[in-house]
Amino acid sequence: MRKSGSRYFRHRRLALPETAGEWGAILTAALSVGAFVVLLVPALTVPRPIVVITATFAGAALLAVVSWTMLSPLIALIRRGPAPVAATAGATAITLTGMMLVYSRPIPAVVAAVVTVTPISILIGSALGQLVGVFFRPASARARITAVLWAALAVTAVWWLSLAALAPGNNEHLPERYRGAAPAPESKFSASGPYDVRTLSYGSGTDYRRARYRADADILTPTVDLSGLLPRLNTLRRRYRDAYWGFTLQEAPLNGMVWYPDGEGPFPLFVIAHGNHAMERSSEPGYAYLGVLLASRGYIVASIDHNYLNMSALGGDWRGDEIGARAILTLEHLELWSAWNETPENRFYGRVDLDRIALGGHSRGGEAAAAAAMLNRMTRFPEHAARRISGGHSIRSVIAISPSDGLYRPGGESIRLSDTDYLVLHGGHDGDAFVFIGLGQYYRTEFSNRSAGDSKIGGAGERFKAAVYLYRANHGQFNSRWKRTDLSFPLGYLLNTAPVMQDSEQQQHAARYISAFLEAGLREERAARKVFREPNAAMQRDSNREEAPQQTELLRPTPQHARILYADTLLQSPLYTTDAAGITVWRKRRHHSRTRFVEFPIQVTELAWEAAAPAHSSPPAQAEAGKTASGAAEAPAYHLYPAEVPAGASALVFPIADLRQHTRTQHGLPLLELEIEIETRSEHGGAQLHRRPLALTPPLPVQFTKFGAIERALLQPSEPLLLPYFIRLVEFSPGPIDPTSIRRVTLRLDPRHSGRLHLGALQFS
């Protein structure tokens, strides 16, 4: 029996570790604390030499030993049974979990990190403990050999983990035709325009961190007080921020980088704000690719500085509570541009078209852009009524790139946009916003069918909205400075970057859609809307083919990495009743994302059915309407009876989401071939059936981490997108169809395959 007196300091009753397990727990805790501290280093502006990292781990080890000696009341509990191993596992898991959650990282990545790193940390700690136990006190040769082998196993595990972390991952989940390069298709909207591009920067003139806002600033700007719009940080974090920037939020500067055309104008204005990145690294230059393109096409582009509202490892993070301040800051920039346009001494005098303004934003900046457009119509800040809002600007369009949603709720309500064009882009392999959460704002954007001139704000003719899902895009590459890794060290090493397209390709896609959206919204070029409608039309089966083509022939040439949701003010949804036959699930519910915990403010009809015939039987387009090839059973069908169809309707729109999910062993899903049937009645009461085949686009599988099994346990492997299928009435056979004579619309489901769908409201265009 060991004597307790040998382990306690006689007067202070402090304990020191003795057993190998205790030393392992201490050293493992030191590694965990050291990793946490090293996580802070990338955010600092100083280099990361090996001396800094070594000192960090040495300090962490000293901290662990001192902490151990101060826990004498718990020593007795820790030294019973396998408690040292349990303590090691618990300490490591808690440290890692806290470290990940502090930075608000995706839960699947946090779980993967803890599950992977904790066992290896225990192994390292135990191996170090064994070495301490056998080489610093008497031990047998066998014990020393065992300890060396144990240490070798730990080193091998670390080596394997390092190789796995440094590898880009794999793209085995990608369907074959989605592999390889993903260049954006040729488009006049992504081509440079006729103007030469000039650049400048404006700022406070006192920014000692960045010369472009100090000595190199072309226009000096005032400061604004944002202090009352933000929650208070603790003293240390606030002091670090104030010391780093050299100013407080009571005197926040208005800084920005500008790309503008060399011409007389007036030109539309596009103001874009970056998202939440490390504040010590400037993010606003990352949209130069947009600024140069759009300026050459006749736009003034301002990328504004929100860096001092961003996160910092030492300065903390407002966790989205600063979105309102970002929105106010954006409106203050619009005030600047309004003043410059009316000041004869300013170079932008009379050159800004203040009736054609668009706001853009990336990540939290995307949510802030929508918030700014909403606050623009208010006179007081909802959470701080004493603060007046400088609004009333003619904001006609909002563009959100991989935005957050729901972080800011003015007055406790969700942000809503009305009569404002809205575009949201999202990457399918986004490792930060790992579900298409920006669809929430897309569905909350509504139109009142105002005619041109009804209102200066957002009332210039027909408005529209679009959502673009870029399958192989990530979060960061929309900003040229954020690169391929969407998460900071060490979680970034857990992301599967192999499927992600090259940054130049991703930016080409983004530039194409943003340019077309601005042309359609600010310049009212109706042809630009085809960029958002044609991909959906291309997903439909070619009705001119007499035979059922092979699966690879069912899709016309289209930007294969894009899935697009589109709606405009001409769409009308009539009242209708429904009926179904051969359906196993038929219910109303909220549409949801990859995780059912994220639901969108839109009601859908969920339908599910079972296969009624072998997979080799003929599709419904070739069989008798409503029958399988053998005629033995009716194909599942969903019937809609509209109360009234507008006389001017020329097309119907079926929003459909395929909810079938890819499995680990099933590389691709079969194409569902549906049929839309319209029943019309003549004045004499006779009925006629009109049919049109429809090929439903399968969902696209996603794996954004290197741990596919863990990810599939937490998330559905694909995003259920409610894609609108536009079908012109002239495409039905036989024709023509008088829209006022439509009595029933039937969606006949593919009887060869089981399926599950979400259907949005039937609409006529």
Chain CA centroid to CA 165, Å:
23
Tally the residues of the chain: 765
Q: Which has more pLDDT, 116 or 205? A: 205
Q: Looking at the domain assignment, is residue 563 inside a domain?
A: no
Task: Single out the residue of 321, 323, 286, 326 nearest to residue 306, CA to CA.
Answer: 326
Strand segments (E) across 536-628: 562-568, 576-581, 585-592, 599-609
Q: Per the structure, how many domains does the chain have?
A: 3
H and E: helices and strands count for the chain: 14, 27
* 561 assigned to some structural domain: no
pLDDT, position 453: 37
333 and 409 together in one domain: yes
Q: Which domain holds residue 58?
A: 4-166
The residue ranges of DSSP E strands in 428-531, in sequence order, are 445-446, 464-470
Residue 378 has pLDDT above 90, yes or no: yes
Model confidence at 150, in pLDDT bands (50, 70, 90)?
confident
- Whether 417 and 374 have beta carbons less than 8 Å apart is answered as yes
CB 24 within 8 A of CB 127: yes
pLDDT digits (tens, 9 = 90+) for 49-73: 455 555 555 555 555 555 544 444 4
For residue 558, being part of any structural domain is answered with no
**C-alpha dist (Å) from residue 4 to 1, 15, 59, 130:** 9, 9, 29, 22
Same domain, 153 and 210: no
Q: Does 540 fall in a domain?
A: no
294 and 430 co-located in one domain:
yes
pLDDT, the chain, mean: 80
Choose between 90 and 628: higher pLDDT: 90
Give the number of other Cβ atoms within 10 Å of residue 717's Cβ: 18
Beta-carbon-side half-sphere exposure of residue 318 (alpha carbons within 13 Å): 24
What tokens appear for 321 in the block? 């509570």
Mean pLDDT across the stretch 576-595? 92
Last residue of a domain, one of 468, 495, 529: 529
Residue type, 10: R
| Torsion, Cα of 80, 81, 82, 83 (10° steps) | -20
Domain shared by 136 and 101, yes or no? yes
Residue 108 binned pLDDT confidence (cut-offs 50, 70, 90): low
Q: CATH number of the domain that 338 lies in?
A: 3.40.50.1820
Angle at 567 between CA 561 and CA 571, to 5 degrees: 145
- If you average pLDDT over residues 80-109, what whole number do you get? 52
pLDDT for 143 equals: 74
Q: What value does the mean pLDDT take over residues 465-477?
A: 95
- Whether 219 and 152 share a structural domain: no
Q: Quick one: average pLDDT of 615-619? A: 47
pTM summary value:
0.83
Q: Are residues 162 and 212 in the same domain?
A: no
Q: Is 90 exceeded by the pLDDT of residue 533?
A: no
Please indicate, yes or no, whether residues 143 and 210 belong to a single structural domain of this protein.
no
380: helix, coil or strand? strand
Looking at the structure, tell me whether residues 144 and 230 fall in a common domain.
no
172 pLDDT exceeds 50? yes
Domain membership flag for residue 69: yes
Q: Is 80 exceeded by the pLDDT of residue 573?
A: no
Per-residue pLDDT band for 152 (boundaries 50, 70, 90) equals confident
Residue 634 lies in a domain: yes
**pLDDT at res. 662:** 79
Tell me if 179 is assigned to some domain: no
Whether 658 and 720 have beta carbons less than 8 Å apart is answered as yes
| Assigned domain for 174 exists | no
Question: What integer pLDDT is reported at residue 462 of this predicted model?
Answer: 79
**Beta strands at 742-748 and 637-642: parallel, antiparallel or unpaired:** antiparallel
Percentage of residues in the chain having pLDDT higher than 70: 72
pLDDT, tens only, 317-365: 898 999 999 999 999 999 999 999 999 999 999 999 999 999 999 999 9
For a pLDDT cut of 90, what percent of the chain falls above it? 48
- Where does a domain end: 471, 501, 529? 529
Cβ atoms of residues 695 and 725 within 8 Å: no
**Per-residue pLDDT averaged across 15-33, rounded?**
57
Based on the domain organization, do 160 and 195 belong to the same domain?
no
Whether residue 8 is predicted with pLDDT greater than 70 in this model: the reply is: no
pLDDT in tens, 295-322: 999 999 999 999 999 998 788 889 899 9
Residue 160: what pLDDT? 73
Are 697 and 657 within one domain? yes
Q: Are residue 234 and residue 150 in the same domain, yes or no? A: no
Q: Are 562 and 755 in contact (CB under 8 A)?
A: no
C-alpha–C-alpha distance, residues 298 and 192, integer Å: 10
Q: Do 384 and 509 belong together in one domain?
A: yes
Mark which of 111, 135, 166 sits at the end of a domain.
Answer: 166
User: 739: domain CATH number?
Assistant: 2.60.120
Among residues 615, 554, 549, 581, the alpha carbon closest in space to that of 753 is found at 615
